[in-house]
A and B are shown apart, each in its own frame.
Chain A
């Protein structure tokens, strides 16, 4: 069979009426009316209704059509005809026509599906089928079927379009795409590296790149001036719901530029990317210094779609007699608050005190929260009696408070804690009260980050040690001065999500050395870690800078998907596991041995006891049963017995018999009718046996530490 004349299913329209067509694709849905068989035929372009009728198709074809099932792959010849008035399907782009089949070839059959793929109802008025609440792991296990769904195909198509926009735009701007290595040197950046053992250099490892940072800077040294790459990066970080161990980044770097160049370039690019989904972003993007972002919104990636800016209130309480505030101010602390305009109805005394002050805010890390409802007759609060009339008036004035407003304040000895807690509270309140406008995109540049952060041992780079400082005349041994330095870094933030960031880099080797000194690295450490890179700076490095955008996140935001996994063809699940391929998986001893990953000496000396110990631990982990030192010998003994048993079974095995199944011939499937909640869950009785309950949920320990 030749497919030369094949037409896309989704392309047919009324002008095609009367045309003989060859179509091929999958059976999306079907209805068998005995005499007539209706199917929805789906290919990448869309869906068209095909009808098998004895009027057009001979008996063999009709018989074959009656064997069709969902997701059979078929080729069909037929004639397009306009649908009778009243039978049009507005859910389909092709809903005004249908194809009367004259020939059918079943190209391959499909097993019963693990979940429904079809998203389009066959009859008008039924609307689109909402994707069933299929468990995500099941979707990922059968990802090749999940990806057949038009929604997923749409996501990947749009992703392709967005990435194509990036390539076209950067090409227009004189950037060239250059590939950098995947097997590279482990570098001390933020996260843990994924390591790849080398067979030819036993005991040595490559690392998968966390970003092509050093290579792109080397390309600037090499005079490429404008480089970019759509590149896979890897970070072995702790699990977070919306994070992947490997992710795609738009990485770019340019020479002889400053921050202004990056702002212009990226704004133009981001506007074009959003335009793929017909989202109009206004330019220029506002800019905000890091200090202001922290001081007014408590985050270095603030969500600027709504207000709720912080109000400074420390000075109001300079001479307060309220004990708690007094103590905090004596320890050099601060007090900040937010005026939640006109929400006193939704934020009752009970909600503010019992939910926020008692539960939610302590969860954010603060000891407490002060709240005040602005009522007709003045402030209402559980502690308002401790504030003087003067203080109460000052609060009203400072917060611009009117009747119906709610003022919440956080006081603590630590400025960082006050801003961080208030920042989380700001998001929580905005979400709860519905203050975040839908379908609004609010981009922002965050700039002027501190170059260094204080740590217990000294200081550390807040981005990476190649970021240029705002001034170069600093003394690397003056800690206070170092902490006051700003970096020439910038992050692009949309709706409170960091889409990317970058900086102008250091191209002066003396400045770079001073930075390493400031970080407390010895010459030897610097040589070991960055020697090759520093040498490159010795040979005439141009001023340069760049940025990287997380493409999975950008695409997910543009398409408005619930997670980045919806825009990645084959993602890992939330546990960094791939249910489709079952990666990561154990490997054989031989493989480990060849890579020099088995301490062969140990294995010999300990005569297998180490492996035994490992086996107990490995099984304790997979079956989540902790083993105390006392029971260890008993468990190890039981495992030896299991191994002997396995040996006996293998000696006496015979492959002539199938695996025994106790179930016999009767159908063991759950009777149809769909899942339904247990009546005991509905009545709440199910919680009677639970060790810990919170509201209508089972309470468990935190997923992460």
Chain B
């Protein structure tokens, strides 16, 4: 059943067809293996993003990050199984592939915290970069303003190395942050620029007793290691979820407009006319969860645009508020996941948002976040320690992860 975790395995992973790229032995990522999702384009590889909408689609060109990883000599193992268009974690096998040691690292779309949640489940590190740090050209996505490529690895140093290769400007992605882009060549355990770690009281109030105990224990441990811990408050905290849901649905509805069964993907067998072809093709293309999301997005777009505008204004307010907190503290700590989180992924939207409520604020605010294993535990379960920093503080945040991994158990 091993191969079942992959939807595609590269038949000859260490041999690249291009003369211009270095062979894997030569590059800085030589000997490092990566698994990706079928939503990231590798020329010649199937890329159906887990959806009927893209059934049979084979990528024509490499995503920018794939180009860079190939050049750096990384070994691309294959593609994991993924949820439909990356919405939720139903059927996702990234965690299994990592824990079975079939790949050193994995890349997955992080739209609401998927990479961090998976890593917390299997005791690995995960990093979600600031928006605009890593090119999304060649990434088949759902909610562009929320998502980015997340990196999972057993060792944080591997994340640093991969970020060093992947990050940086790309002419083909118009949402890159440009000259202010963070750098990764000074990420070391000796970088102690993060000294004060805050935590918001609002999310703590939603946790169970055991979770609070684990998180408090984790904060104590950080304090003993020399960090200053400070409690902060963001009264609008509960709105992160509503804002993500509304804007995410609208962007998904818009992004999925391209799946019309004309240029690629699934096409219904019989259609009387053009409109009939669209209606049937798209009815057959999307699963229940994605469809619910798309209809919600259509509702906001066509029936209640005011709600979408409200969400965009509240998002601005939340970003301002969280920037305000970063004036008081260097980083903010959260548990990555709550104990009640289902192993079987949610099948309705509310359930889905329940699962990601602790991770999605970083996606809403576009700030970097790192998941660190082994700190927030109650003896049985590792809830994961999630630390988020100000936008573009990707470097210091990864330094912190390296530092904590060295101090670790």
Interface pair B298/A652, CB less than 8 Å apart: no
Name the 7 nearest CB pairs between A and B, nearest first. Answer: A626-B283, A691-B267, A646-B307, A638-B292, A689-B264, A657-B316, A660-B315
A701/B273 in contact, CB under 8 A: yes
Query: Chain B contacts of A657 at CB under 8 A?
Result: 313-314, 316-317, 320
On chain A, the residues within 8 Å of B278 by CB distance are 624
Report chain A residues within 8 Å CB of B304. Answer: 642-643, 646
Q: How would residues 660 to 687 of chain A score, 1 for a CB under 8 Å from any chain B CB and 0 otherwise?
A: 1111101011110000000010000110
Q: A668-B175, A698-B262, A698-B263 are in contact. Are A689 and B56 (CB under 8 A)?
A: yes
Q: Are A638 and B264 in contact (CB under 8 A)?
A: no
**CB of B68 within 8 Å of the partner chain:** no
A619 to chain B, nearest CB (A): 4
Main DSSP-derived SS at the B contact region: helix
Residue tally, chain B, CB below 8 Å to A: 75
Which chain B residues border A642 with CB–CB below 8 Å?
Answer: 246, 249, 295-296, 299-300, 304
**Contacts A620-B279, A623-B295 given: A659-B309 contact, CB under 8 Å?**
yes
Q: Which residues from chain A contact B271 at a C-beta distance below 8 Å? A: 701
Encoded as 1 (CB less than 8 Å from any A CB) or 0, chain B from 258 to 288 comes to 0011111111000111111111101100101
Q: What 0/1 readout, one digit per residue, does chain B (316-342) give for beta carbons within 8 Å of chain A? A: 110110000000000000000000000
The answer, yes or no, to whether A345 is at the interface (CB within 8 Å) is: no
Query: Contact partner of A625 among B132, B171, B295, B316, CB < 8 A?
Result: B295
Residue numbers of B with Cβ under 8 A of A are: 56-58, 60-61, 131-132, 144-145, 171, 174-178, 236, 239, 242-243, 245-246, 249, 253, 257, 260-267, 271-280, 282-283, 286, 288, 291-296, 298-300, 302-304, 306-307, 309-317, 319-320, 348-350, 366
B292 and A654 contact, CB distance less than 8 A: no
The answer to whether A619 and B295 touch across the interface, beta carbons within 8 angstroms, is yes
- Write the chain A residue with the least CB distance to B293: A638
Q: Do A700 and B316 touch (CB < 8 A)?
A: no
Q: Which of A622, A641, A689 has the most CB of B within 10 A?
A: A689
Judging by beta carbons under 8 Å apart, are B307 and A649 in contact?
yes
* Inter-chain CB contacts under 8 Å: number: 187
Q: Is there a chain B Cβ closer than 8 Å to A454's Cβ?
A: no
Interface centre among A624, A653, A702 (most CB of B within 10 A): A624
Contact B131 A625 (CB under 8 A): no
Once the chains bind, are B57 and A615 in contact (CB under 8 Å)?
no
What are 24 sample pairs from A and B whose C-beta atoms fall under 8 A apart?
A: A623-B294, A626-B279, A631-B288, A634-B292, A638-B348, A638-B349, A639-B296, A641-B350, A645-B245, A649-B242, A650-B307, A652-B310, A657-B313, A660-B313, A660-B319, A661-B312, A668-B174, A669-B174, A670-B174, A689-B58, A689-B263, A700-B262, A702-B272, A703-B274
Give Cα A374 to B200, complex, Å: 91
Of the residues B132, B274, B294, B314, contact of A652 by C-beta under 8 Å? B314
- Pairwise interchain contact B57-A689, C-beta atoms closer than 8 A: yes
A680→B245 contact, CB < 8 A: no
**Is the pair A631, B291 in contact by a Cβ cutoff of 8 Å?**
yes
In the complex where A625-B283, A646-B307, A649-B310 touch, is A615 in contact with B299 (Cβ < 8 A)? yes
Q: Which of B175, B282, B291 contacts A624 (CB 8 A)?
A: B282
| A666 engages B292 (CB within 8 Å) | no
Q: How far is the CA of A705 from the CA of B271 in the complex (A)?
A: 10
Q: Does A655 contact B (CB under 8 A)?
A: yes
Once the chains bind, are B272 and A691 in contact (CB under 8 Å)? no
User: Which residues of the partner chain B approach A623 to less than 8 Å between Cβ atoms?
Assistant: 253, 257, 282, 294-295, 298, 302
Q: Is A628 an interface position by the 8 A CB rule?
A: yes
Which residue of A631, A652, A668, A671 has the most chain B CB atoms within 10 A of its CB atom? A652
Q: Is the CB of A625 within 8 A of B294?
A: yes
Q: Which of A634, A654, A662, A691 contacts B266 (CB 8 A)?
A: A691
* Interface residue? A432 (CB, 8 A): no
Q: Is the CB of B266 within 8 A of A646?
A: no
